[in-house]
Amino acid sequence: MVADPDALRSPNERGKRPSLRSVRYSTLRISPTVTLDGYLEVFIEGRGDRRWQLPAQSDRDEIARVANQAKAWAIQDGQATQGQLKYIQKALSDAGYHVRTPRRYT
């Protein structure tokens, strides 16, 4: 019997915990994209995709409405996880469509 459980691991793996990135909570892939022509496209594996026309980047209320519609469509039948819903919001934010004022670090 081995007293030290790290003795069975390679030298590079000793003392390391398993990565959390290897754990998948969702069963379907989701890919939100903001296109150059001003649309939010959300593709869900096995369900297809949908598009929403995006408003001006300064119209925060309308951006929130579009984001909520996209999230509601993604969550139908309980298929989207919380992380996937955040991914839709991140795609909008990365493209400059902010619901809240972006943080300014000085």
Tell me the pLDDT tens digit for each residue of 29-46.
899 999 999 999 999 988
What does DSSP assign to residue 81?
Answer: -
User: How far is the CA of 15 from the CAs of 20, 23, 64, in angstroms?
Assistant: 15, 19, 44
Distance CA 16, CA 37 (A): 46
- Label the pairing between strands 39-44 and 48-53: antiparallel
For residue 73, name the pLDDT band (cuts at 50, 70, 90).
very high
Tell me the pLDDT tens digit for each residue of 10-69.
555 555 666 666 666 667 889 999 999 999 999 998 889 999 999 999 999 999 999 999
Choice among 43-47, 56-60, 73-77, 101-105 with the minimum mean pLDDT: 101-105
pLDDT over 70 (residue 99): yes
pTM for the model stands at 0.71
